[in-house]
Structure 1
């Protein structure tokens, strides 16, 4: 049963990690970049991705929620055994998992729904002439300069989203590592128990052999 619960936790966590990793195509444009490197073109690209993300189907959101609840409930169930290994590994996993969930619920989602869901797509000054200009390779640089200035009010939320995604990813990666550590510790315990069981018959046979020699 412990192995099944561990598999559910790792599978759910890996699924959520995969979702966060898909956001890297937008997060990488703003993370660890100097203000000079954060051009309007990069910020508009990231903002457009977040705007599309905020408009995703409710069915997908329910699936993600179901997976997150399944992983969290299984972790709490495993922690309820109150075994020494569970308290250490599952306790740390619950802390990291809950911090990622709280960060997503109270930082990522409000940011997406408040600042990006109403963002118009396509952006201003990006009509048919703009599209035809982008299609021409020689005029790409000139086309990018026609983008409207990125609003200062949206710069902070865009940078915060990338940072929040990174924090959630690091926390969930910690959950996977802790579960791997728990599996390794349990394997070591099982090996030690098997060694002790194999050694017991030899210890019991020694007194019998000594008694035969004395007789």
Structure 2
């Protein structure tokens, strides 16, 4: 790989692996956003995971909840942007002069992280703006592959928003899985290296014993 630092491995001194501070900069924001999505799961559950009819009062409650979130003070949105930027900072640190392990695990994690940010901006933020505006009479216009345009009402729009939360949660869990996979790969490689060193030491000791026995004979 041309972008991999030459000669850099997981045993190099400047290798930034699962135990580095940059990993904390990645895992911290991901767990923070997963916590927010987990808090929204009770609201999303009746829309996506049950077949029971949902009363209108529930949609009114959910709409009030989402409007309250979107109309929160600007400080909240700025903090979310800062926490998102912290995650990108962690990726850029780990991928600066990376090893092959960094490219495989951290590169794939960065791709998922970017996808998550895209889902948040394109679906969730847009849905929150629609809820806050309250323009359900006109519906949400979405380009369709056959009709050219699809009009989504309040119920369908809220379901799309809940589905976007689920997609974002799965993407963020994928980031954690890749980071955990990096830790496991490093541990496995370290164990294999120790086992190989011990085997070499035993072979060397056996050769020395054989030489000593030949001299005695």
Q: Matches of residues 193-204 of structure 1 in structure 2 within 5 Å?
A: 193-204=193-204
> 1:63: Cα distance to partner?
1.3
Residue of structure 1 aligned with 2:123, choices 67, 92, 107: 107
Match in the other structure for 1:164? 164
Q: Matches of residues 110-125 of structure 1 in structure 2 within 5 Å?
A: 110-113=126-129, 115-119=130-134
TM-score of the aligned structures, taking structure 1 as reference length: 0.76
Q: List gaps (5 residues or longer) in structure 2.
A: 1-15, 136-151
Match in the other structure for 1:51? 67
After superposition, the C-alpha distances for 1:25-67 in whole angstroms (9 at most, x for unaligned) are: 3212322344x71321121111111111111121121112111
Q: Which 4+ runs in 1 deviate beyond 3 A?
A: 79-82
Q: List gaps (5 residues or longer) in structure 1.
A: 121-151
Worse-matched range after superposition: 2-11 or 50-59: 2-11
Match in the other structure for 1:136? none
> 1:24: Cα distance to partner?
1.6
Report the structure number with the largest CA radius of gyration. Answer: 1
Match in the other structure for 1:98? 114
Worse-matched range after superposition: 201-210 or 183-192: 201-210
Worse-matched range after superposition: 156-165 or 20-29: 20-29
What is the RMSD of the two structures over their aligned residues, measured on CA atoms? 2.2
Worse-matched range after superposition: 19-28 or 83-92: 83-92
Indicate the SS of the match to 1:56. Answer: coil
Match in the other structure for 1:154? 154
Residue of structure 2 aligned with 1:29, choices 39, 46, 55: 46
Residue of structure 2 aligned with 1:71, choices 48, 73, 87: 87
Q: Work out the CA distance in 2 between the residues paired with 1:54 and 1:29.
A: 21
Match in the other structure for 1:141? none
> 1:21: Cα distance to partner?
1.2
Residue of structure 2 aligned with 1:10, choices 20, 27, 40: 27
> 1:111: Cα distance to partner?
1.8
- Number of positions where the alignment pairs a residue of Structure 1 with one of Structure 2: 182
